[in-house]
Amino acid sequence: MREFIFTFGFGQTNPDTGRSRASRFARIQAEEAIDARLLMIEQYGRAWAFQYDTEAEAGVAEFGLIELARVPCPTCDGTGTDSSRANDAVPDFLTGEPVQRGPEQCGSCGGGGVIEVELEATTQSKRD
């Protein structure tokens, strides 16, 4: 298993939150470069800038890039649903019969069960 570094550029944002991903990077573990790209697209979408073999090539320390990571949503514990938002039985719109509604989609991760976080820099680096 190898590690690949993917950088983001200006104008690239987290589609879930709208937060800028400029000066950020992601770390992907994979056997081959092509596998890493597929994992990257699966986790972050197609809007990223470049793929590198090492942090040094990507300029992580040089440019003070901030690492992004995908972690299980703490609100729903990665389930994507919020059981505290489950409703009691409500009348059906047409029949009036009571219908039990299940847990609602988690409000923090939008039902994906995963959120994006910024990791603390491990090396001395400047922040934007």
Q: For Zn ion, which is the closer residue by CB, 60 or 76?
A: 76
Q: For Zn ion, which is the closer residue by CB, 45 or 78?
A: 78
Q: Is residue 13 within 8 Å of 119, Cβ to Cβ?
A: no
Q: Which of residues 49-108 bind Zn ion (CB under 5 A)?
A: 73, 75-76, 106, 108
Q: For Zn ion, which is the closer residue by CB, 28 or 115?
A: 115
Residue in the structure block whose two tokens are 């573990």: 29
- Shortest distance, CB of residue 47 to Zn ion, whole angstroms? 22
Query: For Zn ion, what does the binding mask look like between residues 10 and 49, x meaning CB under 5 A?
Result: ----------------------------------------
Q: For Zn ion, which is the closer residue by CB, 65 or 76?
A: 76
Q: Does 116 bind Zn ion (CB under 5 A)?
A: no
What does the alpha-carbon distance between residue 111 and residue 104 come to, in Å, rounded to a whole number? Answer: 9
- Shortest distance, CB of residue 25 to Zn ion, whole angstroms? 24
Residues forming contacts to Zn ion in the complex (CB under 5 A) are 73, 75-76, 106, 108-109
